[in-house]
Structure 1
Amino acid sequence: MSLFSGITVYEVSMALIMVGLAERVLLAYAPIEMVGPNGWLIKGDIKE
């Protein structure tokens, strides 16, 4: 049995949607030091 045989298209699509939602939440509510232009987690074009 392969490592990837149990993964469905639905699970992959839900994982991508969750990653996108988590990114949006982080960009909206995380401190600027974390997700700003020089952020250590996400380097984004965010202005305070």
Structure 2
Amino acid sequence: MLTLFSGITFYEICMALLMVGMTERVLLAYAPIEMVGPDGWLLKADVQE
């Protein structure tokens, strides 16, 4: 089991977290309100129109 995670570096983890955060910001800014609004099916967020 340890060999499965031994190839993952700290840098890769940081980059993955950064990309998830950036993707969330882009989705909240540009996706339709039905997708990311208070009752959204992808993200439930308090988004101002």
Common fold: TM-score over 0.5? yes
Q: What's the TM-score once normalised by structure 2's chain length?
A: 0.94
Residue number in structure 2 paired with 1:32 = 33
Residue number in structure 2 paired with 1:16 = 17
Q: Which is richer in helix?
A: 2
Query: What 5-or-longer segments of structure 1 have no aligned partner?
Result: none
- Give me the whole-angstrom Cα distance separating, in 1, the residues matched to 2:7 and 2:34: 39
Query: What 5-or-longer segments of structure 2 have no aligned partner?
Result: none
Q: Does 1:6 align with 2:2?
A: no
Q: What's the TM-score once normalised by structure 1's chain length?
A: 0.95
Calculate percent identity across the aligned residue pairs: 73
